[in-house]
A and B are shown apart, each in its own frame.
Chain A
Amino acid sequence: MSKMMKPSRDVGIVGYGAYIPAYRLPGTEISELWRDGQDNKFLPVKQKSVPGKDEDTTTMSIEAAQNALKRAKINPAKIRAIWVGSESHPYAVKPTGTVVAEVLGIAPDTLAADMEFACKAGTEAMQAGFAFVGSSMGEYALCIGADTAQGRPGDALEYTAAAGGAAFIIGPAEESLAVLEGSYSYVTDTPDFFRRAYQRYPEHGNRFTGEPAYFKHITSSVSALLEELKLKPEDFAYVVFHQPNSKFPLKVGKMLGFSKEQQKYGLLSPSIGNTYAGASVVGLTDILDHAKPGERILISSFGSGAGSDTFSFMVTSKITKAAKLAPKTKTYIDRAIPINYAAYARLRKKIIKE
């Protein structure tokens, strides 16, 4: 049995776009408040992005999708499916994609659904998009990964739980700026991180989240795809992994035989934190902003619970023009308005007035 997944019709990414909120909370603010600065020198990320008081997964998805549409230059009414992967959908019941579809002019001839698989919900949406276009059920699909991640005050994850997202318009290979060579998904029942219904913050298994979860799933997923494609780490110009902190992606890259240089672009967690369902896919947008025709990209997500999706893409000549048609991911990273913990507590609705 072939483990690799690839639709019979060749497909790829026709347009991509990112969105990162403007506000940044330095890790030192959290450290000073909860630990008297004891861990100031060992912060998992330098700072994290924080959504503004009027932002949520829907508004971030809209701007990322608008950027993807600018690059794809297609009639939005031709998009026949919209899937938004997130663990912070604004409504418990009412798909985020309905608002996105209406704003972008995609509605009404479309599917729309929310997806959830912790930090790999965005790549899960992409897998579905490739299958949908690959089976010719529709010409284009819009697949989004975005989150305004929840961090319990004082918890280890508060340093990294950030906000951001990326959108991809999936379409036929001949129109694509990056063609899908193949993908693979690896899923087990591993309760490393979860949030029960009606709970405000997720729970995590501390050190358990490393070896049996993040590292095991990503290495299994990447190794299986490389074996199927008969490719080696050195065949890729760029690689991007899920990035819950600054250290894990570099460590898993080393375990798999990838160099630091291959993560020169796309490793954004040090400056924006962990954008959960947005993390690996926002990294992919940064790589696409810099990629040249003929270069190969590997992306591997990780979602707690747990699973990992890995994709191999070949960049085409369409990238050169498309990259310039919308704001680059770095533009959003550089638009940084620093805030203190008090402002953060208010923006994230941690101060309850009743």
Chain B
Amino acid sequence: MDIPRYWRLKSQRYRLQGRRCTDCGSLSFPPRQVCMKCKSRNSEPYEFKGKGKLYSYTTIYQSPDRFEQIIPYVVALVDLEEGVRITAQLTDYFPEQLEIGMDLEMVIRQIYEDGPRGPILYGYKFRPILCPGIES
């Protein structure tokens, strides 16, 4: 069980909270203490909206042990609206629906159960956008 780590990372996993450099405005996810662009150490929390486009994806058939329950599953590179590319699992798509460039939105799902006695880890995944007209 890795309870302290689950607890420490909950803001980024539940609310897609990264960092915004207060000197040059660059955004980072996962959050970085030093700005990749201007090397500044000044930053503040920034919540991404959770909307993006599918940049690329792959289907996992041979997984780490803790994801064995859900194989096969799709891991994608998602380009967030704010211009940051992140890695995330995809969920709830029709077979043959996935297409590079398609619109995606973030949802909260079980990532894995830490065994039958451990905690259940929740976090972001992405799915094809449900209602394109509605702003979140």
Q: Report Cα–Cα, A53/B108, bound state, in Å.
A: 13
Q: Report Cα–Cα, A53/B63, bound state, in Å.
A: 15
A90 touches B120 (CB 8 A): yes
A62 touches B94 (CB 8 A): no
B49 in the interface (beta carbon within 8 A):
no
B134 touches A59 (CB 8 A): no
A345 CB → nearest B CB, Å: 14
B109 touches A325 (CB 8 A): no
Q: B130 — which chain A residues lie within 8 A by C-beta?
A: 327, 331-332, 335
A55 touches B134 (CB 8 A): no
Q: Report Cα–Cα, A262/B92, bound state, in Å.
A: 33
Q: A335 — which chain B residues lie within 8 A by C-beta?
A: 130
B110 in the interface (beta carbon within 8 A):
yes
A128 in the interface (beta carbon within 8 A):
no
Q: Which A301-327 residues have C-beta < 8 A from chain B?
A: 324-327
Count of A interface residues, CB-CB < 8 Å:
27
B58 in the interface (beta carbon within 8 A):
no
B15 touches A103 (CB 8 A): yes
B125 in the interface (beta carbon within 8 A):
yes
> Which of A53, A91, A103 is in CB contact (< 8 Å) with B70?
A53
Q: Which B61-91 residues have C-beta < 8 A from chain A?
A: 69-70, 89, 91
A58 in the interface (beta carbon within 8 A):
yes
A63 in the interface (beta carbon within 8 A):
yes
> Which of A58, A103, A326 is in CB contact (< 8 Å) with B134?
A326
> Which of A59, A103, A337 is in CB contact (< 8 Å) with B110?
A59
A93-107 vs B, CB cutoff 8 Å, 1 = contact: the mask equals 000000100110100
Q: B10 — which chain A residues lie within 8 A by C-beta?
A: 102
Q: Which residue of A lies closest to B127 (CB)?
A: A22
B83 CB → nearest A CB, Å: 23
B111 in the interface (beta carbon within 8 A):
yes
B1 in the interface (beta carbon within 8 A):
no
> Which of A54, A66, A91, A327 is in CB contact (< 8 Å) with B109?
A54
A55 touches B94 (CB 8 A): no
> Which of A63, A91, A326, A337 is in CB contact (< 8 Å) with B107?
A63
B46 in the interface (beta carbon within 8 A):
no
Q: Report Cα–Cα, A119/B92, bound state, in Å.
A: 26
With A52-B91, A103-B15, A327-B134 as known contacts, state yes or no: A62 contacts B108, CB within 8 Å.
Answer: yes
B136 touches A70 (CB 8 A): yes
A99 touches B134 (CB 8 A): no
Q: A54 — which chain B residues lie within 8 A by C-beta?
A: 70, 89, 91, 109-111, 125
Q: List 14 A-B contacts (CB under 8 A).
A: A52-B91, A52-B92, A53-B69, A54-B70, A54-B91, A55-B109, A56-B110, A56-B120, A58-B120, A90-B120, A103-B108, A327-B130, A327-B131, A332-B130
Residue numbers of A with Cβ under 8 A of B are: 21-22, 52-56, 58-59, 62-63, 66, 70, 90-91, 99, 102-103, 105, 324-327, 331-332, 335, 337
11 more CB-based (< 8 A) A-B contacts, given A53-B70, A54-B70, A70-B136: A52-B92, A54-B91, A55-B110, A59-B107, A62-B108, A63-B108, A90-B120, A99-B122, A327-B130, A337-B92, A337-B94
